[in-house]
């Protein structure tokens, strides 16, 4: 077994240990994306119209590059060989031992550190659970779930490789002791989750997959999944009350 494959297997084991599905069930995995609404089956199938990931329209950068505001979802994908060049280890409490997922792009890592610090001052302890994931890590995760549950079912709670925001190095799944350091919808109802919901945008983050927006974002409510956009952009999206998809589309229409 070569060194690269051995490292990937070790990383996957560390990434998935202790992970439970949304709502506290241990029957299904939750790598970050969670389960989709059952009516979205067609949206989960491969889409030949997919294009490269693009900026949201307000930031620097071009299609598929390292823009802080790059837009990634089931239609807009990152290239297989894309990896941020400025990944750093996060300097906040973490849950998993896999060093890969304890990284973010430098600007996002600094913002996360500041947010966690302010949360601590307010009496709330947060943990980083899963940040950057390479294309190959995401591919292996999805393939594992698809082999076990079927491709359509797997698409409801796991992103295909190239479609995960984690590959950008700008997304972090966070958690707290109040939900046993797991990824759970219940996090949104905890004191920590409520603080994050009302304050994350001040540090450049948004809750990427809001409640009752599955038909728009492609993913269920994920109060734990934070996406870094920069303070100005995050504030605009937060104040608009829109998902990132809706905000981007509104900008294109104006």
Check: CB of residue 138 under 8 Å from CB of residue 164. yes
Question: What SS3 state is found at 99?
Answer: coil
Which residues, other chains included, contact 247 with Cβ-Cβ below 8 Å and sequence gap of 6+?
56, 236, 237, 240
Residue extents of the structural domains in the chain: 3-37+54-253
The percentage of the chain sitting over the pLDDT mark of 70, rounded to a whole number, equals: 73
Name the residue with higher pLDDT: 221 or 19: 221
Cα–Cα distance measured from residue 19 to residue 32, given in angstroms and rounded to the nearest whole number: 10
Parallel/antiparallel/unpaired status of strands 76-77 and 51-52: parallel
Which residues, other chains included, contact 242 with Cβ-Cβ below 8 Å and sequence gap of 6+?
250
Among 196, 213, 212, smallest CA distance to 204 is for: 196
| 159-190 exposure pattern, b = at least 16 Cβ within 10 A, e = fewer | bbbbbbbbbbbbbbbbbbebbebbbbbbbbeb
Q: 29-76: per-residue pLDDT in tens?
A: 444 433 333 333 333 343 434 566 655 544 433 333 348 999 999 999
Average pLDDT over residues 97-126: 98
Cα–Cα distance measured from residue 114 to residue 94, given in angstroms and rounded to the nearest whole number: 15
Q: How far is CA 221 from CA 106, 117, 173, 215, 226, in A?
A: 27, 25, 13, 11, 12
pTM of the model: 0.79
What is the CATH code for 3-37+54-253?
A: 3.30.1380.10
- Radius of gyration over every alpha carbon of the chain, rounded to an integer in angstroms: 17
Question: What SS3 state is found at 3?
Answer: helix
Check: CB of residue 157 under 8 Å from CB of residue 145. yes
Check: CB of residue 53 under 8 Å from CB of residue 78. yes
Q: 180-229: per-residue pLDDT in tens?
A: 999 999 999 999 999 999 999 999 999 999 999 989 998 889 999 999 99
């Amino acid at each position: 077994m070569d060194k690269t494959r051995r490292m990937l297997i070790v990383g996957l084991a560390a990434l998935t240990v202790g992970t439970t599905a949304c709502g506290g069930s241990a029957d299904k995995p939750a790598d970050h994306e969670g389960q989709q609404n059952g009516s979205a089956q067609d949206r989960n199938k491969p889409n030949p119209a997919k294009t490269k990931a693009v900026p949201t329209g307000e930031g620097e950068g071009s299609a598929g590059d390292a823009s802080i505001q790059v837009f990634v979802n089931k239609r807009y994908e990152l290239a297989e060989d894309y990896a941020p060049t400025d990944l750093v280890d996060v300097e906040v409490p973490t849950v998993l031992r896999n060093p890969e997922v304890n990284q973010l792009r430098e600007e996002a890592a600094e913002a996360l550190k500041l947010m966690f610090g302010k949360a601590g001052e307010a009496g709330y302890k947060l943990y980083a659970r899963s940040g950057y994931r390479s294309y190959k890590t995401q591919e292996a995760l999805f393939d594992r779930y698809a082999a076990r549950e079927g491709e359509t079912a797997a698409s409801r709670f796991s992103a295909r490789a190239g479609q995960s925001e984690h590959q950008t190095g700008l997304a972090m799944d966070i958690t707290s002791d109040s939900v046993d350091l797991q990824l759970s919808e219940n996090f949104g109802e905890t004191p920590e989750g409520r603080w994050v919901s009302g304050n994350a945008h001040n540090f450049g983050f948004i809750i990427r997959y809001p409640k009752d927006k599955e038909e728009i974002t492609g993913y269920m409510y994920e109060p734990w999944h934070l996406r870094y956009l920069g303070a100005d952009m995050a504030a605009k999206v937060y104040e608009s009350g829109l998902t990132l998809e809706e905000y981007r589309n509104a900008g294109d229409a104006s």
